Homo-oligomer: A and B are copies of this chain.
Amino acid sequence: MSLDALTADLRAFAAERGWEKFHRPKNLAMALAGEVGELVAELQWLTPEECESLTDAQRDAVGAEMADVLMYLTRLADVLGVDLETATRAKMARNAGRFPVPGPGEEASVVPVQA
């Protein structure tokens, strides 16, 4: 799925329903936070082991919340004029500098080495 296609579909979906007045930046950011809350809630009581072996029903439920997160993120990017692809590629490039590949014998770390 291309983000551009999803962006266009979500824009049309909102336009057909007169949702532009609701789809303002702060509202969409709040909706995004709400949906991430729903996603996290699907996993909160599971053990780490249970999370590695979700049932189909559990996976579908989590997937539905992940879809909501992706849709609000994409819609917010569109409304704010953020090019999500460019921003993501730029952040990955920056991360490559902040998190160099460990050398032989070096331990994996999620702590960045530079700002």
Contacts and interface: CB of A to CB of B under 8 A. Distances in A.
A2 interface: yes
Bin chain A's interface residue count. Answer: 35 or more
Nearest to A86: B63
A63 to B, nearest CB: 4
A44 B31 contact: yes
A9 to B, nearest CB: 7
Contact of A1 (B2, B21, B39): B2
A19 B91 contact: no
A59 B43 contact: no
A28 to B, nearest CB: 8
Contacts of A64: 87, 90-91
